[in-house]
Amino acid sequence: MRTINVQDAKTQLSRLLRDVEAGEEIAIARAGQVVAHLVRAPQPSGRQFGHFEGLVTWSDDAFDPLDGDEAAAFEDGPLDPEFTA
């Protein structure tokens, strides 16, 4: 681990960040005492598309239009007549 003083860190920040991106760890010192460590931030893993592929299924008619009674149940109130909000 390389140690650098605060003044040098301020003037060389861009170069230090490139070094950290390359995997180097840098200690920043004030008056000879280390006060901070410059390390690479954890990288986000990103989204994993298709994670549930093959695990979720539905019937062939799942997206067919509702028949008259089913549609009326949604329009006129709850499906369970005993339900009260």
Q: Which domains does the chain show, CATH number per domain?
A: 2-38 (3.40.1620.10)
CA 77 – CA 85 distance, rounded (Å) = 11
Q: What is the pLDDT along the chain (85 residues), one digit of tens a residue?
A: 999 999 999 999 999 999 999 999 999 999 999 999 999 998 877 777 887 888 888 889 889 888 888 887 777 666 566 766 5
Q: Is the pTM of this model over 0.85?
A: no
Residue 64 CB-density burial (10 A; 0-12 exposed, 13-18 middle, 19+ buried): exposed
